[in-house]
Amino acid sequence: MTDAAGDAVDPGRGSVVTQAWAGVRAALAGFSWCFRSRSIAVWTGAAVLIYVTLWSVAMYVAASWDDRLVHAVMWPRGTAWWESAAYEIAKSALYFVFWLAAVVMTFVVALPIVSPVFAFVAEATENEYFQDPIAHRSSVSELLKELLHSVVRSAALVALHLSGAIAIWVFGLLAGLLFPPAATLIGVALGGGWSAAWIAMAAASYAFENNRTPARRQLALLNAKPGLLLGFGAVAQFMAWIPFFAPLTVVSATVLLCRLHDFGHVELPLRRGHQYNSAPPA
């Protein structure tokens, strides 16, 4: 099993830097893997359609309300030059805060809605990787239960991400009062690292949950391969904010998990015995 993404290469070997670079390459694998089979293409296309539609509607609504809300809050413009300058600065700041809140709220709402489709994207990718489709869901009730679980899990992941980001922001704000230059650098590093680790684990969670992987084993991967996941997340976090590319992070993460399973770094319980690292390259 080998291709341009390096499927025949163990992504979990080498130094932290080597693994980080492997993670960067793995994050980009979704662009080629989404066309590997009709099933992956269909489910990825459905996820893109739903995700882009949600973002488009949210941005349209935000664009319809931004002027009204900003002008409702702003005070009358003064006649002096400094009053006009203060007015324009405050108005620009309000627009920035409004659109930042709109983007964050859209992400908070959109991810749980589209998460059931992401679960099918992960399943299709896994089945194509192993060339051995298995039934992750054996009944309609089990399917409905898993879809609900996927929505709840995604909502919890979003809440965790926002909580961590707020905690890092507060830490940076307080530390900045004592050590301004160092605190800024530490805050940026912590914020970037947190976002990278979160998006890597969130994208991988669909394949993990499809395979009934216990939470402690999922978290063990982050502890065992931090460089690999941070490298993956460094690229994936930018892809995740582009609606057209966000579903590809799930494809990339699923391929990465399958490769890690292939080389014995992580176990996908429903794929016990499906290891091909000893097979000759295809």
- Which candidate, 56, 26, 86, 74, places its Cα nearest to that of 207? 26
* Nearest-angstrom CA–CA distance, 97 and 76: 20
- Amino acid letter, residue 266: V
Three-state secondary-structure class, residue 13: coil
The upper half-sphere exposure of residue 260, i.e. CA atoms within 13 Å in the direction of its Cβ, equals: 27
The more confidently predicted of residues 279 and 240 is 240
256 with 22: CB under 8 angstroms?
A: no
Q: Give the per-residue pLDDT at 140.
A: 64
Following DSSP, what letter does each residue of 173-218 receive, concatenated? HHHHHH-HHHHHHHHHHHHHHHHHHHHHHHHHHHHHHHTT--HHHH
Torsion of CA 143, 229, 215, 40, to 10 degrees: 10
Rounded to two decimals, the pTM is 0.83
The pLDDT tens digits for 226-277 are 999 999 999 999 998 888 999 999 999 999 999 999 898 988 888 877 655 4
Joined tokens for residue 251: 């494809």
The pLDDT confidence band at residue 2, using thresholds 50, 70 and 90, is: very low
Stretch 174-184: mean pLDDT, rounded?
74
Q: Give the per-residue pLDDT at 279.
A: 40
Joined tokens for residue 60: 């349209």
* Nearest-angstrom CA–CA distance, 5 and 15: 19
The pLDDT tens digits for 5-54 are 445 678 989 999 999 999 999 999 999 999 999 999 999 999 999 999 99
- Which candidate, 36, 57, 45, 2, places its Cα nearest to that of 128? 36
Three-state secondary-structure class, residue 158: helix
Q: Give the per-residue pLDDT at 5.
A: 45
Q: Taking all residues of the chain, what is their mean pLDDT, rounded to a whole number?
A: 85
The pLDDT confidence band at residue 142, using thresholds 50, 70 and 90, is: low
- Which candidate, 51, 43, 37, places its Cα nearest to that of 121? 43
